[in-house]
Amino acid sequence: MSDQEELKQHFAQRVIHQAREVLEVWQQLQRSEWNGDYHAALTEATTRLRRFADRFEQAEHSELALSIEDCLGDIRDNRGRLSSSTISTLSQLIYRLARTGLRHSDPHNQSFLPPLSKPVYIALQDPQRAEHLVRQLDFFSMSAQAFTDVAAFRTAMHRRHPAAIVMDVDFNGPGEGLRLAEQVQQGLEAKLPMLFFSHAETDTPTRLAAVRAGGLEFFTGTLDASSLLEKIEIFTRTAHYEPIRVLIIDDSRAQATHTERVLNNAGIVTQTLIEPIQAISVLAEFQPDLIILDMYMPECLGTELAKVIRQHERYVSVPIIYLSAEDDLDKQLDAMGEGGDDFLTKPIKPSHLIATVRTRATRARSLKARIVRDSLTGLYNHTHSLQLLEDARFRALRDNRPLSFAMLDIDHFKQVNDTFGHPMGDRVIKSLALFLKQRLRKTDHIGRYGGEEFAVVLPDTPAEAACKVLNEIRQRFAEIRFPAQPQDLSCTFSCGITELTGDAEVKVLTQQADEALYRAKHGGRNRVERY
C-alpha cells in the first residue's frame, strides 16, 4: 500500500469512528424516549461527523451528516417534537450511514472505507472451525476475529467491545465459556449480544446459564455462517432499524393528536384516522405493526371495527389495543374477546403506553416474520412475495412510478445436490439469499419463490436499472468459492426481468419475468435477460 493510500485509510478510520458515535446515540434512542438531551447528543455527534468528513474529503459521509442535521433542525423548529415524517427520514439516513462502509470487499466499489460495524468476536474450542467462520463472514462483508485462548480474548475486550460475541460453552474447558461470558457482561450498562454454541446437545440448566449470561441464541451441532450472520444482524439492529408503525383510530382529534405525540417522541411512526369507516383502505396503504382503537365512536363501536379488521386474512395477527375511558372490567374483557389484544384505560401514563406498544408490536413482528418468511433463508415466502408485488404495483400505478420484477434461478442446482449433497445445496441457497439482502436496497423485497428460485420486487426502478444492478450481483456471486471436496464449488444464477407497463396484473408480471428467465436459461445461463 502506498503512503497516500495509508493516509487515506487513516483519515477514513477517523471518519468511521465518528460515524459510529452517531449510530450508537441512535441505538440508545430506540430503548428510551426522545428528549432535549438526546437531541443535543445526536446533534453534537453529527456535527463532528460532518466536520471530519469535510476535512478528510469523505463526500458520502458529509452529505449524510448534512441531511441528518437538516432533520434535527426540523425537530428543533417543531419545538423539539418528533413527527412521523422526521422519524422515517432519520431512520433511512441512519441506515444509509451504517451501510456506507459495508461494501469494502467489493472490487467494483472504489470506496476504501472499512466496515462501519464493530467486529464480531468468535471464541470456539475448535480453532479451524473459528477461522472458517471468519472467512465465511468476510465473504458477506462482516468483520470477525477468532480467539484461541482466554488471554487474547480478554485483551481484545479491554481494547474494544465487539458488535456481538459467539462463545463456545466449553471454550477453555467444560463450562468455562459460560463463566467467561458472565464475567465479560458484569459492569456493562448494556449487555453485549451473546450467541452460544455447543458441539453436543445441552440440558436446560446449561441453557439457563447461557440466558443469564446474556445469551440471545444457542446453536448446537453445527455452526453455519449464514445462519450466524442472520442472527447477528437481528441482534445488532442499528443498521437495519425499521421504526414501529402504529395506526391510531379515534374520532376525537385532540385525543388522537395526544397519542400521536407520545408515540412519536418514542421514535414510533404513526398515522391518525378520525373516520373509522376508512380503516381498511388505510390499513392496506399504511401496513401498521399495531392498531390503537377507541371503544366508542359515533360511526361504529371499536369492537365492531375490530371484527371487520379480523375478517381480512392479512390483518388477523396485527395487535389491536383498545384505548378508552371505559373502566368497567367486564366490558373491557368483553372487548378483548371481540378481536382485541389489550385494553388501556384513559388517562394513561406515556411510559405505560410506549412500553405496551413496543412490546406488542415487537412480538407481532417476530410472529409475522415466522409466518411470511421462508425458514431456510429468512426471505419472504412465495405467497407473501406475490402480496408484496401486488402492493408495489398498486403504489406504482397510483404514483405513476416505475416498478420492476425479477426472477432468479440458480444454474445446474440439481447437479450441486447430486454431487455435493443437499447440505451444500442449502448452503448455496442461503448464501445467495444473503448476497441479495446485502446488495439490494432496503426498499426492495426479496423472496424465495420455490426451491432454488428467487423473486425480487424493485419499486421506483425501471427495467434498465434493475438489469444493471442484478447483473453486477450475478458477476460477484459467481466469484464466491464454497469449500468442498475434491475441489471448491462456485455457482451462478440466471435472471429474467420485466417492468410494469399499463395496468398489467401480477399474474402477467410473473409470466413475463418467467419468460425472460426461460430465455436466460436457454441462452447459455449465468446471464440477465429483460422481457
Residues classed as catalytic: 452
Burial of 110 (0-12, 13-18, 19+ CB in 10 A): exposed
Strands 403-410 and 144-147: unpaired
Look at the block and give the residue holding cell 447437479.
415
Query: Which amino acid does the sequence have at 24?
Result: E
Backbone angles phi, psi at 257, to 5 degrees: -65, -40
* CA–CA dist 334, 417 (Å, integer): 55
Please, which residues have CB within 8 angstroms of residue 420's CB and are 6 or more apart in sequence? 484, 489
Strand partners, 198: 220
* CA–CA dist 352, 348 (Å, integer): 7
Backbone angles phi, psi at 404, to 5 degrees: -115, 150
* CA–CA dist 511, 519 (Å, integer): 12
Cell of 179: 463463566
Where residue 524 falls (left for φ over 0; alpha for ψ -120 to 50; beta otherwise) is left
Query: In which order are the strands placed within the sheet that holds 342-345?
Result: 269-273, 245-249, 290-293, 320-324, 342-345
Rounded-to-10 torsion of CA 191, 197, 203, 204:
20
Backbone angles phi, psi at 41, to 5 degrees: -65, -45
Cis peptide bond prior to 115, omega within 30° of 0: no
Please, which residues have CB within 8 angstroms of residue 38's CB and are 6 or more apart in sequence? 25, 28, 29, 32
Find the angle CA(27)-CA(29)-CA(31) to the nearest 5 degrees. Answer: 85
* CA–CA dist 138, 145 (Å, integer): 10
* CA–CA dist 160, 195 (Å, integer): 18
